[in-house]
C-alpha cells in the first residue's frame, strides 16, 4: 500500500532515505523494492539475498535516517504519499514499461493513479487555434470519463489541465522535479488545483530541482501512464516530439491534430503524421479511437477546418468564465491585466478567454478582448 507522510515521522525518514537511493540506479532500486516492499523489509533482509541485492550501504543509511522536516503544504490536504511498483496504486500501464520509475511521489487521491487516462502534450507557445484545440480536446476527454495526463508546463500542458478541471473531471500532472519544487513556479496555483482535483506526481525525490534531463525522463513517465498520447501542436525539433517518440517506443498510440504547411508550430505534427501517427480531426474521432462515448452535453469539434471547433452552448459557462465575462464589462482588457486583477495563472485566464471566444461571448480587439454585444 502507498505510504502516507505525516503520520509516523520515523517511517517518513526511512522512506525519504530509501527514495534518495535511486541515485544508485533506478533499475537496481526497482529490483530491491520487488524483493523488499518497504524500508523495514530492506532492513530485515539478510544473508545471500542481501548480498545479491547489494543493499548493505542502503541498510546502513536506513539505520540512521536524517530527521524529517517536510513543508506544511505537503502535509495539508491532499497530503504527500509515495507508491512503489509493488503497490496496487501504482499506475498499471506505467508498470508495464521496461523503464518504469521504481516509485512515485504523489499528492491527491490514490485512485486517480489507476484511472483510465489520455496523455495530452504540445508546445509551450501555442497559437490561438492551438489553445482552442487543447481546451476542447482535453475537456472532451474529461467529460468522457478519462483522466487527462500532462506535464504542468506552460502552454498546451497547462491548458489541458485547466480544461479537465473546468469540466469537473480529473487531471494528473507529472513533474520534472520533486513535489516540493513546483515547475514552472508560475503554475503553483494550478498545481494546487490539480492536487485537489486529481494528482500531482513525480518520480524524483523531494528536493530535486528541475533539470533538462529530468524533463526527458518525465516525458517517458507521462506517456507511460496512457495507452494513447494526443499531440495538439508542436514544432520540430521539440520536447513534444520526444514525448511522442517515447510513447511509440512504449508501444502506445500517438494521435495528432492536422496543421497547415504554413504553420511553424505544426511542423512536428506533420512529421509525426508522416511517421505513421494517427490523424484525429474531431473530438468524436478521438473518443471513437479510445473506445469511449463522446459526452453529449459538451461542444463537438467541427470538421469545417483543420482546427475549427464548434461554439460552446452559451448556457454552459463555468463560474470562472462568468466571472471573467463580468469583469470585461463594456471595456477592452488584455489577458495579462485580467489575470492580474483576478489573481489567476495566465494560462487559466487564457483558457477561459479562449472558451468565451469560442462561445461567441467575447471577441479580440485592439489591446486585448472585449465582450460581444
Mean pLDDT of 116-144: 93
* Residue 373 pLDDT: 56
Handedness of CA 126, 130, 135, 139 (dihedral sign): negative
Q: Would residue 308 count as lying in a domain?
A: no
The pLDDT tens digits for 1-18 are 899 999 999 999 999 999
What is the domain count for the chain?
3
Q: Are 253 and 223 in contact (CB under 8 A)?
A: no
State the angle between helix axes of 56-63 and 9-20 in degrees (0 to 180), rounded to the nearest 10.
150
Whose CA is closest to 187, among 164, 153, 139, 159?
153
The residue among 198 and 128 whose pLDDT is bigger is 198
The residue among 221 and 324 whose pLDDT is bigger is 221
**373 CB burial (10 A radius; 0-12, 13-18, 19+):** exposed
* Residue 295 pLDDT: 74
**187 CB burial (10 A radius; 0-12, 13-18, 19+):** buried
The pLDDT tens digits for 302-354 are 333 333 333 334 457 888 888 888 777 767 788 888 888 788 888 888 888 88
Are residue 285 and residue 318 in the same domain, yes or no?
Answer: no
Are residue 284 and residue 320 in the same domain, yes or no?
Answer: no
Q: Would residue 95 count as lying in a domain?
A: no
Q: Would residue 49 count as lying in a domain?
A: yes
What is the pTM assigned to this prediction? Answer: 0.80
At 231, phi and psi to the nearest 5?
Answer: -100, 115
* Residue 315 pLDDT: 52
Q: Would residue 90 count as lying in a domain?
A: no
Q: Would residue 302 count as lying in a domain?
A: no
Are residue 129 and residue 254 in the same domain, yes or no?
Answer: yes
* Residue 57 pLDDT: 94
Are residue 221 and residue 133 in the same domain, yes or no?
Answer: yes
Q: Which of 237, 255, 290 is the last residue of a domain?
A: 290
- In sequence order, what are the residues at sequence separation of 6 or more whose Cβ sits closer than 8 angstroms to the Cβ of residue 189? 344, 345, 348
Q: Which of 256, 290, 324 is the last residue of a domain?
A: 290
Residue 138 has pLDDT above 70, yes or no: yes
Mean pLDDT of 29-52: 93
Are residue 161 and residue 258 in the same domain, yes or no?
Answer: yes
The pLDDT tens digits for 202-211 are 999 999 999 9
* Residue 279 pLDDT: 95
Are residue 229 and residue 334 in the same domain, yes or no?
Answer: no
Are residue 231 and residue 356 in the same domain, yes or no?
Answer: no
For β-strands 117-121 and 332-333, DSSP reports them as unpaired
Mean pLDDT of 27-48: 93
Q: Which of 290, 323, 357 is the last residue of a domain?
A: 290
Q: Could you give the residue ranges of the DSSP H alpha helices within 198-313? A: 212-224, 239-249, 267-274, 283-290
The pLDDT tens digits for 244-287 are 999 999 999 999 999 988 898 899 999 999 999 999 999 999 99
Most trustworthy range by pLDDT among 90-99, 295-304, 312-321: 90-99
Is residue 208 within a helix (H) or strand (E), and if so which, with residue range? none
Mean pLDDT of 76-98: 93
* Residue 296 pLDDT: 57
Mean pLDDT of 110-135: 93
* Residue 336 pLDDT: 86
Is residue 194 within a helix (H) or strand (E), and if so which, with residue range? helix 188-197
Are residue 215 and residue 331 in the same domain, yes or no?
Answer: no
Q: Would residue 85 count as lying in a domain?
A: no
Least confident of 31-45, 95-109, 317-331: 317-331
Are residue 118 and residue 229 in the same domain, yes or no?
Answer: yes
The residue among 324 and 365 whose pLDDT is bigger is 324
Distance from C-alpha of 293 to C-alpha of 243, rounded to nearest angstrom: 26
Residue 150 has pLDDT above 60, yes or no: yes
Q: Would residue 145 count as lying in a domain?
A: yes
* Residue 84 pLDDT: 96
Q: Would residue 266 count as lying in a domain?
A: yes
Are residue 140 and residue 273 in the same domain, yes or no?
Answer: yes
Q: What angle do CA 356, 160, 267 make, to 5 degrees?
A: 100
| Phi-psi map region of 284: left, alpha, beta (phi>0 left; psi -120 to 50 alpha) | alpha
Q: Are 58 and 32 in contact (CB under 8 A)?
A: yes
Are residue 264 and residue 183 in the same domain, yes or no?
Answer: yes
What CATH number did the domain enclosing 341 receive? 1.10.10
Whose CA is closest to 141, among 309, 307, 345, 289?
289
Domain housing 32:
7-68
Are residue 275 and residue 360 in the same domain, yes or no?
Answer: no
The DSSP annotation for 143-183 comes to HTTPEEEE---TTHHHHHHHHHHHTT--EEEEESS-TTS-S
Average pLDDT score over the chain: 88
Amino acid at each position: 500500500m502507498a505510504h502516507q507522510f505525516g503520520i509516523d515521522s520515523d517511517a517518513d525518514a526511512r522512506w525519504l532515505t530509501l527514495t534518495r537511493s535511486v541515485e544508485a540506479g533506478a533499475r537496481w532500486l526497482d529490483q530491491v523494492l520487488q524483493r523488499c516492499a518497504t524500508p523495514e523489509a530492506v532492513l530485515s533482509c539478510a544473508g545471500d539475498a542481501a548480498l545479491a541485492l547489494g543493499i548493505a550501504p542502503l541498510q546502513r543509511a536506513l539505520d540512521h535516517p536524517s530527521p524529517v522536516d517536510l513543508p506544511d503544504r505537503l502535509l495539508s490536504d491532499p497530503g504527500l504519499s509515495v507508491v512503489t511498483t509493488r503497490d496496487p496504486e501504482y499506475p498499471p500501464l506505467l508498470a508495464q514499461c521496461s523503464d518504469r520509475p521504481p516509485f512515485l511521489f504523489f499528492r491527491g487521491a490514490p485512485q486517480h493513479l489507476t484511472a483510465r487516462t489520455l496523455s495530452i502534450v504540445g508546445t509551450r507557445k501555442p497559437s490561438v487555434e492551438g489553445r482552442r484545440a487543447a481546451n476542447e480536446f482535453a475537456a472532451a476527454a474529461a467529460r468522457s470519463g478519462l483522466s487527462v495526463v500532462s506535464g504542468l508546463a506552460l502552454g498546451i500542458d497547462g491548458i489541458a489541465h485547466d480544461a479537465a478541471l473546468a469540466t469537473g473531471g480529473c487531471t494528473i500532472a507529472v513533474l520534472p522535479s520533486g513535489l516540493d519544487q513546483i515547475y514552472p513556479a508560475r503554475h503553483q496555483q494550478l498545481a494546487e488545483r490539480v492536487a485537489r482535483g486529481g494528482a500531482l506526481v513525480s518520480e524524483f525525490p523531494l528536493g530535486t530541482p528541475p533539470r533538462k534531463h529530468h524533463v526527458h525522463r518525465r516525458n517517458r513517465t507521462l506517456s507511460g501512464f496512457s495507452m494513447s498520447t494526443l499531440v495538439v501542436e508542436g514544432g520540430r525539433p521539440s520536447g513534444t516530439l520526444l514525448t511522442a517518440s517515447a510513447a511509440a517506443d512504449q508501444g502506445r498510440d500517438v494521435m495528432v491534430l492536422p496543421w497547415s504547411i504554413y504553420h511553424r508550430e505544426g511542423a512536428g505534427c506533420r512529421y509525426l503524421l508522416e511517421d505513421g501517427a494517427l490523424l484525429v480531426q474531431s473530438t468524436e474521432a478521438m473518443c471513437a479511437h479510445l473506445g469511449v462515448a463522446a459526452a453529449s452535453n459538451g461542444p463537438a469539434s467541427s470538421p469545417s477546418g483543420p482546427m475549427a471547433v464548434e461554439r460552446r452552448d452559451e448556457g454552459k459557462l463555468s463560474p470562472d468564465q462568468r466571472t471573467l465575462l463580468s469583469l470585461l464589462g463594456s471595456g477592452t482588457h488584455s489577458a495579462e491585466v485580467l489575470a492580474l486583477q483576478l489573481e489567476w495563472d495566465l494560462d487559466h485566464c487564457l483558457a477561459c478567454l479562449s472558451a468565451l471566444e469560442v462561445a461567441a461571448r467575447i471577441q479580440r480587439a485592439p489591446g486585448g478582448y472585449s465582450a460581444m454585444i
